[in-house]
């Protein structure tokens, strides 16, 4: 179905409860504005292939909108990459849209750094990880603090393939992410971490879906947010285990750190388990900074500000603790530490 034929989803839908479509649309929902292209550039020897925008039917309004809006469309096929690949996604203009398709047949580490100052950015990333391949993927959102950002991702993880997926979101004013992964073969696995640092009046909505279609598949999601000022974070997860996908192992943990009285956070993991013999666990917690942790650090000479910064830093870094790839962990840790140090100096 094309965008113009779609009805605006009601707020009763789990996905659109906290950030309804009209709030993340760049103008008014009936319009499809002319979009500038998000410019993707590569550091290293790899090269993009420019591809025509996909015209396949989608039933999700965000994806249909991004398809209708056009923008840039690139594809990167990776057989094997010994060094991490860094992709810079630069957005400019009023409304900017980009589509990127990744396909991995061997092993690779890929980072996408998105930056720029447009009023609105939309990004749709699709990826396929072939059987027995491994992709470590880091996404770093460093957009301007006034930018609205819509991000959709769709990952297909084939038999015995692995995806390590990390998100660090510190940019944008109103951000909505809808990240979906399908474990499409026995032995497929995903380890996913999402780290959010929100302040001011920032609104960040992260929706993560993981679908286990086959048995002996594994997923592990950790989502940590730190909310200051009057910011609002929403983390929703949908974990499904299909009928017959026995011996699947799935875990989702959401933790929110509230740094001010006006900050808000919602953590809503959801499970739909149709198989009999699985291990599925989920947990969610929202709390202010622990007073005993503060006291401990202050008793070692750190000021209250330094103590809180260290606790927040550690809390956010801890979201990457379920990852195993050293390049991925190091890059995400470095980016987060630099961001927090800059924030402390402001």
Partner 1 sequence: MAEEILRIENLHVSVEGTLILKGVNLTIHRGEIHAIMGRNGAGKSTLANVVMGHPAYVITEGSIFYKGQPLEELAVFERARAGMFLSFQYPAVIPGVQVGTFLKKSVTSVRDEAPKGRAFRKELTSAMEQLSMDKSFLSRYVNDGFSGGEKKRLEILQMLLLKPHLALLDETDSGLDIDALRIVAKGINEVAVDSACLIITHYQRLLDLVKPDYVHAMINGTIVQTGGPELALELEDRGYDWLDVTA
Binding site for partner 1 (CB under 8 A): 290-293, 295-304, 306-307, 310-311, 313-318, 321
Q: Which lies closer to partner 1 via its Cβ, residue 99 or residue 333?
A: 333
CB of 341 to partner 1, least distance (A): 12
CB of 225 to partner 1, least distance (A): 14
Q: Which lies closer to partner 1 via its Cβ, residue 300 or residue 346?
A: 300
CB of 246 to partner 1, least distance (A): 31
Nearest-10 Cα torsion for 270, 274, 276, 281: -10
Q: Which lies closer to partner 1 via its Cβ, residue 22 or residue 314?
A: 314
CB of 328 to partner 1, least distance (A): 16
Q: Which lies closer to partner 1 via its Cβ, residue 52 or residue 301?
A: 301
The residue whose two tokens read 């840039």 is: 72
Token digits of residue 176: 């909505």
Token digits of residue 47: 């090269």
CB of 299 to partner 1, least distance (A): 6
Q: Which lies closer to partner 1 via its Cβ, residue 291 or residue 345?
A: 291
Nearest by Cα to 110 from 161, 42, 194: 42
Q: Are 297 and 265 contacting, i.e. CB atoms less than 8 angstroms apart? A: no
Q: Is the dihedral of CA 178, 183, 187, 188 positive or negative?
A: negative
Q: For residues 257 and 96, what is the distance between their CA atoms, to the nearest angstrom?
A: 32
CB of 303 to partner 1, least distance (A): 5
CB of 307 to partner 1, least distance (A): 8
**How many residues make up the chain in this entry?**
346
Chain center to CA of 345: 27
Q: Which lies closer to partner 1 via its Cβ, residue 12 or residue 299?
A: 299
Q: Which lies closer to partner 1 via its Cβ, residue 50 or residue 345?
A: 345
CB of 305 to partner 1, least distance (A): 10
Q: Which lies closer to partner 1 via its Cβ, residue 42 or residue 289?
A: 289
Q: Percentages helix, strand, coil for the chain, rounded to the nearest 5?
A: 20, 45, 35
Strand locations in the chain, DSSP E? 36-37, 39-43, 49-50, 72-78, 85-91, 95-104, 107-116, 120-129, 134-141, 148-157, 162-169, 174-183, 189-198, 203-212, 218-227, 232-241, 249-258, 264-273, 279-288
Q: Which lies closer to partner 1 via its Cβ, residue 10 or residue 304?
A: 304
Q: Are 20 and 41 contacting, i.e. CB atoms less than 8 angstroms apart? A: no
Chain center to CA of 285: 19
Q: Residue 202 CB: number of other CB atoms within 10 A?
A: 24
The residue whose two tokens read 């709030």 is: 23
CB of 226 to partner 1, least distance (A): 11
Token digits of residue 123: 């990004």
């Amino acid at each position: 179905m094309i965008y113009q034929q779609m009805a605006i989803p009601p707020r009763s839908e789990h996905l659109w409860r906290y950030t309804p479509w009209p709030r993340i649309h760049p103008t008014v929902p009936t319009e499809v504005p002319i979009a500038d292209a998000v410019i993707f550039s590569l550091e290293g020897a790899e090269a993009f292939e420019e591809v025509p925008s996909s015209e396949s039917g989608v039933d999700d309004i965000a994806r249909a909108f991004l398809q209708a809006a056009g923008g840039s469309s690139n594809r990167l096929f990776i057989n094997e990459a010994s060094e991490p690949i860094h992709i810079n996604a630069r957005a400019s203009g009023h409304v900017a849209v980009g589509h990127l398709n990744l396909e991995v047949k061997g092993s690779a580490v890929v980072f996408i750094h998105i930056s720029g100052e447009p009023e609105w950015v939309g990004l749709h990333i699709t990826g396929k990880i072939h059987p027995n391949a491994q992709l470590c993927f880091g996404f770093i959102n460093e957009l301007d603090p006034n930018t609205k950002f819509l991000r959709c991702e769709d990952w297909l993880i084939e038999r015995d393939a692995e995806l390590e997926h990390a998100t660090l979101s510190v940019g944008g004013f109103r951000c909505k992410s809808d990240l979906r992964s399908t474990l499409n073969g026995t032995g497929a696995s995903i380890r996913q971490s999402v780290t959010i640092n929100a302040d001011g009046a920032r609104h960040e909505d992260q929706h993560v879906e993981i679908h286990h279609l086959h048995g002996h598949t594994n997923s592990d999601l950790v989502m940590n947010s730190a909310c200051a000022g009057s910011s609002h974070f929403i983390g929703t997860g949908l974990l499904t285990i299909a009928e017959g996908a026995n011996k699947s192992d799935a875990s989702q943990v959401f933790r929110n750190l509230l740094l001010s009285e006006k900050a808000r956070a919602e953590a809503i993991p959801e499970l739909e388990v149709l198989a009999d013999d699985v291990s599925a666990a989920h947990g969610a917690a929202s709390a202010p900074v622990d007073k005993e942790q503060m006291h401990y650090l202050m008793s070692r000479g750190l000021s209250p500000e330094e103590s809180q910064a260290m606790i927040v830093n550690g809390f956010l870094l801890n979201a990457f603790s379920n990852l195993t790839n050293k390049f991925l962990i190091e890059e995400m840790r470095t980016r987060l530490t630099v961001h927090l140090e800059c924030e402390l100096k402001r």
